[in-house]
């Protein structure tokens, strides 16, 4: 139970760090790969599911790695970003230096 609780804290701490950086698509892809590797590693070491504890971080990584804004909108419209509200979705997409802020606002 302690490890599960700590995993939740680590996920939230990483989320705070992520939201204070900027990314291009390559940076988003690299971050997505790192998050998936971390979750896979922890899943093999811990009996409890850590995927749920890192779901928001996984969804942020998914957004940061998208090629186009329309892809992010599809994820949102299909419920693949259920842990993120529209404000958080926009906040995350604004971290991408190659996405125009006015396009982000128009999209959602």
pLDDT in tens, 71-93: 999 999 999 999 998 899 999 99
pLDDT score recorded for residue 66: 96
pLDDT score recorded for residue 108: 75
Cβ atoms of residues 78 and 42 within 8 Å: no
Cβ atoms of residues 89 and 15 within 8 Å: no
Tokens in use for 95?
A: 């971290």
User: Which neighbouring-strand residues pair with 23?
Assistant: 96
62 or 11, which is more confident?
A: 62
Tokens in use for 17?
A: 């760090």
Q: What's the angle, vertex CA 39, arms to CA 38 and CA 44, rounded to 5?
A: 100
Share of the chain above pLDDT 70, in %: 93
Reported as a single tens digit per residue, the pLDDT across 10-24 is: 888 889 999 999 999
Q: What is the mean pLDDT of residues 54-60?
A: 93
* DSSP character string of 31-85: HHHHHHHHHHHHHHH-SS--TTTTHHHHHHHHHHT-SSHHHHHHHHHTTTTTTS-
pLDDT score recorded for residue 4: 57
Q: Is the pLDDT reported for residue 1 higher than 70?
A: no
């Amino acid at each position: 139970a302690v490890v599960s609780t700590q995993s939740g804290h680590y996920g939230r701490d990483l989320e705070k760090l992520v939201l204070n950086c900027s990314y291009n698509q390559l940076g988003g892809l690299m971050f997505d790969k790192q998050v998936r590797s971390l979750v896979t590693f922890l899943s093999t070491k811990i009996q409890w599911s850590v995927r749920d504890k890192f779901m928001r971080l996984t969804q942020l990584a998914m957004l940061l790695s998208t090629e186009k804004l329309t892809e992010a909108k599809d994820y949102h419209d299909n419920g693949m970003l259920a842990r993120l509200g529209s404000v958080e979705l926009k906040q995350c997409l604004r971290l991408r230096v190659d996405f125009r802020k006015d396009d982000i606002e128009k999209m959602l």
